Amino acid sequence: MSIAAVPDYLGQDFRSASPGMRFGMYLPIWTEQADRERQIRKMASAGSRKGRELKQILDEEGMDAAIAHVEGSRGRFPDIWQKNDAAANKIWREVVKLSQDDRACIRSLVERQSASAAVFDDGLVFTLHARSTSPFTTGLGNEHPLENGFAFLWPYGLPYLPGSGVKGVVRQSARELAGGNWGDTHGWSKEKRHIEKSGRTTIKLCDLDLLFGLESADGGKDHFRGLLTFWDVIPEIKGDLAVDVMTPHQKHYYQDGQPPHDSGQPIPITFLTVPAGSTFPFHVICDTQRMERLAPRLLEQDEDTPRWQTLLTAAFEHAFDWLGFGAKTAVGYGAMEVDRQAMENAAEEAARQRREQALAKLSSEERQIEELRKRLEADKAANRKEPGGPLNEQRLKLLQAALEWQDTEFRKQAATLLRETAKFLPWAKKRKKEIQEQLARLEGNP
């Protein structure tokens, strides 16, 4: 069994390590002495003439002589700490597995991003949940012993899509829409209708420049920092990672400089991917203060959505359909679609978090009044009238607490809500009189 190139005190059991570490530092594909000895014994057990010859050398002169003989006569015997091709073919099965800890870390990162985005007001943050319709891969150009690398987010060692990559793809998508070659521009335009003044410099900007930034092509001073900030994307992986294969043809022509012909020997090359069906939560933050100064029209509501978010949605959807994210998009990798169900779930969760945050800012008296108000609204919507149910329990809880309050205004607010609650629930005549007496006491001076 081949080993990883690490100190002995680390051992060789890396099943609990992250996918990135198993694919990188702890990759056990390097030949050790035991691998060479095992291969020698296997070769010596063959019934061929060379096998018998090698067995004789092994028996008479020992392992070192047998290894030297094979190295001198066969040429393809792996040296110590050389990449072991047999191990490289087998290691993929271990690299792609995601442990429960890996999945828990992914969930924690996604939830942390969602919680961070929820801190912003709706007009400041744009969130879009997507689902991949084809495998996703990135970082293939990173150096790696197995020919193709992969981009992992450190220190977690998990796959990710860098925010800079997201920005580049979405900007290209917006540029294509603004060019008008795809029919409906969805509001994107290359018209320079915004002006930024910095000292004596006046910069004219279109929507593309305003949102994504502008860098002078000729080294001049026409630079502008875009109003959008794109976060890294942590995919929630469906199942485990996957291994795909590409088989480049004409290697003799492209790499070796030989004339093109059809008798070449294509060599399959394997690489890591995130499988189709995985979800990708995108988060974008907008500097609305600068936007209000430079382009207030982009903050106007378009069907209850700020205009800049409508433009961004169109750019993302075009990128999902026609551009893709990550590497090898020209052959179909990185295609996505909007995950409608995830969007609805995220909207409900964001609304719940906002309600909780609003409740946390209330005083104890306001919080208790608001809790009964929410319960009453829910029971009214469901036409649920239960004199002995949860609504009545909440009513009694507020009544008992409000009778101890010293603030007259809070007592009056509680009494108004309690009267509305009592009116909604059906009561016996005697019970109604008792309730009226309690409310009258509550509305009196403490």
Answer yes or no: do 309 and 426 share one domain. Answer: no
Task: Give the CA distances from residue 24 to residues 4, 65, 96, 152, 217, in Å, rounded to whole numbers and listed in that order.
Answer: 9, 34, 12, 10, 38
Q: What is the pLDDT of residue 294?
A: 92
Answer yes or no: do 159 and 66 share one domain. Answer: no
Domain count, the chain: 3
Asked if residue 191 belongs to a domain, the reply is yes
Answer yes or no: do 425 and 334 share one domain. Answer: no
Answer yes or no: do 413 and 306 share one domain. Answer: no
pLDDT along the chain (446 residues), means of 10: 84 91 90 83 85 86 86 74 81 90 96 88 88 95 88 95 96 94 88 80 88 79 88 96 86 78 80 96 95 92 88 96 94 94 82 74 84 87 84 86 86 87 80 80 69
| Largest Cα–Cα separation, the chain | 111
**Residue 426 near residue 384, CB atoms below 8 Å:** no
Alpha carbons within 13 A on the beta-carbon side of 142: 15
**Residue 128 near residue 282, CB atoms below 8 Å:** yes
Q: What is the pLDDT of residue 445?
A: 53
**Residue 228 near residue 309, CB atoms below 8 Å:** no
Q: Which two tokens stand for residue 338?
A: 């909007």
**Residue 264 near residue 252, CB atoms below 8 Å:** yes
Asked if residue 105 belongs to a domain, the reply is yes
Answer yes or no: do 255 and 235 share one domain. Answer: yes
Q: What is the pLDDT of residue 241?
A: 95
Domain with 144 in it: 100-349
Answer yes or no: do 294 and 157 share one domain. Answer: yes
Answer yes or no: do 128 and 201 share one domain. Answer: yes
CA distance 172 to 168: 6
Asked if residue 238 belongs to a domain, the reply is yes
Domain end among 95, 126, 153: 95
Answer yes or no: do 91 and 112 share one domain. Answer: no
CA 362 remoteness from chain centre: 34
Q: What is the pLDDT of residue 199?
A: 67
Q: Give the pTM.
A: 0.77
Q: What is the pLDDT of residue 74?
A: 61
**Residue 184 near residue 178, CB atoms below 8 Å:** no
Answer yes or no: do 120 and 200 share one domain. Answer: yes
Asked if residue 133 belongs to a domain, the reply is yes
Q: What is the pLDDT of residues 25-60, one digit of tens each?
A: 999 888 888 888 888 888 888 888 888 888 888 888
Answer yes or no: do 276 and 294 share one domain. Answer: yes
Q: What is the pLDDT of residue 329?
A: 94
